[in-house]
Amino acid sequence: MKFFLLLSALGLCWAQYSPNTQQGRTSMVHLFEWRWVDIAQECERYLAPNGFGGVQISPPNENIVVNNPSRPWWERYQPISYKICTRSGNENEFRDMVTRCNNVGVRIYVDAVINHMCGEGGGAGTSSTCGSYFNAGNREFPAVPYSGWDFNDGKCKTSSGGIDSYNDAYQVRDCRLVGFLDLALEKDYVRTQIANYMNNLIDIGVAGFRLDASKHMWPGDIKAVLDKLHNLNTKWFPGGSRPFIFQEVIDLGGEAITSSEYFGNGRVTEFKYGAKLGTVIRRWNGEKMAYLKNWGEGWGFMPSDRALVFVDNHDNQRGHGAGGSSILTFWDARLYKMAVGFMLAHPYGFTRVMSSYRWPRYFVNGQDVNDWIGPPNNNGVIKEVTNY
Ligand code: QV4
Ligand code: CA
């Protein structure tokens, strides 16, 4: 009885912080912009035999199709509906991937874009990955459905309707992040639509979620959505297992919103990790690897059991998001391997490795003007990942 109580207490505390990986598997890989059919094969031929715990996938829900520039990777961060229908594949391919990966013990984590829909300037029509109609100007997304009531237009207090200051938590959460139509997450209707989407994925067999743009959502609203989520599919997970949650909050210090506000919901991305590790391995600012002795909380990072860590991510690999010039990427191959090797060997946080694609970097005044380029494709159709 005592043992049972202890176990259930452990289960409760661990819950959404546990990646639901198999014993001894301590890392996930982000297969950025990969197709579901390729991920299924990668689970079977490489990830399972090499001890990977899981895969973070690109957003699986229908998104806007951007033609100018031509099919950028970032169009996937502008949802049109919650249909599983993108350049990575359709719902059948998604189900097949989840099943095959779970069957070899590799978990799937979905990148959930739930703070917003497409940009206010997204226009009207059916330029979407599944052909669903939408009208951004009228706030109409009938394939969900969402309408004007479901957005924060009335709540945001800035005259631009956008986020003018990151020192004001209300703006950051209630106004439009670079123009994206901001969902009114305090509404039960909106929470329910989002939870239905996530529950569909959970029932298919996914093990957890990256919550995109979490800084732009109130922690209490996120909690209300999470409270509606099902337990994981018992075909692969013990009864009562909760989805793993990691929230994208960029907190390098000095802003109104801190990572710790989100600890109650799940883990949080620790962006200081890659920024500092890059500085150390590059030997900038007098740093050296000997100083890594107290790496982790000793460096002012969040508690290890709340941290999701990585050397680089899909944003700061190409100059988006945060981290700055110290971030190491595959463009600095030797130093990058040192950083990733160190990360995987060190016990702090739950680790994520980055796997993406090369693009023709082209700097103009220090800015990569090709930072938008999408995955290798034939006329927009993502190419097969070849097996070397
Ligand atoms: C343009 C103008 C804006 C204008 C707007 C008006 O530049 O000045 O206000 O139009 O409509 C794309 C374009 C961007 C464009 C916007 C709207 O790059 O220029 O604005 O669309 O049409 C990714 C990319 C963004 C991209 C977005 C959606 O990084 O460039 O925007 O996808 O397509 C902060 C956040 C953090 C965020 C990070 C990048 O706190 O949450 O910025 N990170 C996550 C994802 C990231 C994604 C988003 C959030 C948005 O990791 O990949 O943004 O879902 O730090
Ligand atoms: Ca918001």
**Strand, helix or coil for residue 176:** strand
Kindly list the protein residues that place their beta carbon closer than 5 angstroms to ligand 2, a single-atom ion. Answer: 115, 173, 182, 216
Classify residue 304 by its DSSP letter: G
Which residues make Cβ contacts (< 8 Å) with residue 91, sequence separation at least 6? 83, 84, 85
Which of 75, 174, 248, 312 is flagged as catalytic? Answer: 248
The residue with tokens 């715990």 is 53
> Is 212 one of the catalytic residues?
yes
- Looking at residue 1, its pLDDT comes to 44
Q: Whose CA is nearest to atom 40 of ligand 1?
A: 213
Stretches where the chain sits below pLDDT 50 are 1-2, 5, 9, 11-12
Amino acid at position 348, single letter: Y
pLDDT digits (tens, 9 = 90+) for 161-220: 999 999 999 999 999 999 999 999 999 999 999 999 999 999 999 999 999 999 999 999
Which of 42, 174, 212, 221 is flagged as catalytic? Answer: 212
CB atoms within 10 A of CB 261: 18
> Is 248 one of the catalytic residues?
yes
- Looking at residue 9, its pLDDT comes to 47
Between vectors from CA 216 to CA 214 and to CA 217, what angle results, nearest 5°? Answer: 70
Mutate to test the pocket of ligand 1, among 315, 316, 318, 373 (most ligand atoms within 8 A of CB): 315
CB 119 within 8 A of CB 127: no
Classify residue 18 by its DSSP letter: S
CB 124 within 8 A of CB 137: yes
**Strand, helix or coil for residue 162:** strand
The residue with tokens 């050397």 is 311
CA distance 25 to 11: 18
Cα distances (Å, whole numbers) of residue 342 to 77, 272, 289, 311 = 31, 15, 10, 10
Ligand having the closest approach to the CA of 171? 2
Output 155-159 pairs: Cβ under 8 A, ≥24 positions apart: 155/184, 156/182
CA distance 69 to 156: 29
Instruction: Tally the C-alpha atoms within 13 A of residue 233's C-alpha that lie toward its C-beta.
Output: 20
CA distance 35 to 384: 8
CB atoms within 10 A of CB 384: 13
**Strand, helix or coil for residue 333:** helix
Tell whether ligand 1 has an atom less than 6 A from the beta carbon of residue 321.
yes
Candidates 257, 124, 121, 248; CA nearest to 181 is 121
Tell whether ligand 1 has an atom less than 6 A from the beta carbon of residue 212.
yes
Q: What does residue 252 show for φ and ψ, rounded to 5 degrees?
A: -100, 10
The alpha helices in the chain, defined as continuous H runs, are: 2-14, 36-42, 91-103, 169-174, 188-204, 219-226, 271-282, 333-345
CB 134 within 8 A of CB 122: yes
The residue with tokens 């710790």 is 260
- Looking at residue 324, its pLDDT comes to 85
CA distance 339 to 139: 44
- Looking at residue 323, its pLDDT comes to 82
CA distance 56 to 253: 26
Strands in 27-184 per DSSP E:
27-31, 54-57, 61-63, 79-84, 107-112, 116-119, 124-125, 134-135, 180-182
Instruction: Spell out the domain ranges in the chain.
Output: 271-332+360-373
Tell whether ligand 1 has an atom less than 6 A from the beta carbon of residue 303.
no
Which residues make Cβ contacts (< 8 Å) with residue 290, sequence separation at least 6? none
CA of 270 to the centre of ligand 2 (A): 21
